[in-house]
Amino acid sequence: MLRFAIAATAAMIGGSVWADDVQPLAQAHAHNDYEHERPLLDALDHGFTSVEADIWLVDGELLVAHDEDEITAGKTLQSLYLDPLRQRVGDNDGWVYASGKDMPITLLIDIKSEGVSTYEALDGVLQGYEDILTVFRDGEAEPGAVTAIISGDRPQEVMEQQQVRYAGYDGRMTDLESDMPAAFMPLLSDNWTKVFTWTGEGEMPADERAKLDEIVATVHDKGWKLRFWATPDEAGPARDAIWTVLRDAGVDHINTDDLAALQSFLQDSAN
């Protein structure tokens, strides 16, 4: 009985007990992950390999919330994400998923408060988690179990001047033709509706599908990964159609708030 209780407790706090049988899904991205009942843990329960956390710098602390009026004391980036991830990596021989060795996950950190000051505070925090993070040193990436990427108010010039960084830079479609190395910009993200008119109704226009394929090819040729936000996320045929196109085109991160639905979709696709 005592052994069962210990195992159950470990499962509740995100230990490897409940995660051992979860199959990680390479394309699954948890949009605004912190809005779920159990930030990070619910996403990991569903096999997600990318999670998004919005942060605000408040009195020297990095607090996780979407809007400023939703900020709650104690909900820090460390307590909700970095500490549980470190525990998981320690439990699983250096990886987040016991069943997904050599599959790092992405922690997309969206800066909501002023970019430079927030990033400087974040950089100091991330240094303390060097043991689990991908480190970008002298133009090279040293892979870790977790790759942090900075989105939102991104202080590009500050990040470019660093010889050692603990996070990558999230690019935009305006960067598509740039020569930014993957060791600086490992990810390119943008609003789907600013790039395409198709929102899942009927067939995707041939010219837009060709455009998507060209974007994917360009991104992958440069060693980056690709993500779109603002794709339809209400259950129904339109969302299924969008997800099918994104999956088949090789878009690296499929964005959703519906963890169970995307897990089922990707698992069914693999079978």
pLDDT value at residue 21? 67
The number of beta carbons lying within 10 Å of the beta carbon of residue 102 is 9
Q: Please give the pLDDT value at position 6.
A: 32
> pLDDT tens for residues 199-254?
999 999 999 999 999 999 999 999 999 999 999 999 999 999 999 999 999 999 99
pLDDT of residue 49: 98
Q: Render each residue's pLDDT in the chain as its tens digit; 271 residues.
A: 333 333 333 444 444 344 456 899 999 999 999 999 999 999 999 999 999 999 999 999 999 999 999 999 999 999 999 999 999 999 999 999 998 778 899 999 999 999 999 999 999 999 999 999 999 999 999 999 999 999 999 999 999 999 999 999 999 999 999 999 999 999 999 999 999 999 999 999 999 999 999 999 999 999 999 999 999 999 999 999 999 999 999 999 999 999 999 999 999 987 7
Say how many domains are in the chain.
Answer: 1
What's the pLDDT at 13? 42
Structural domain of 258? 2-270
Predicted structure pTM score: 0.91
Res 263: pLDDT: 98
The domain that contains 18 carries what CATH number?
3.20.20.190
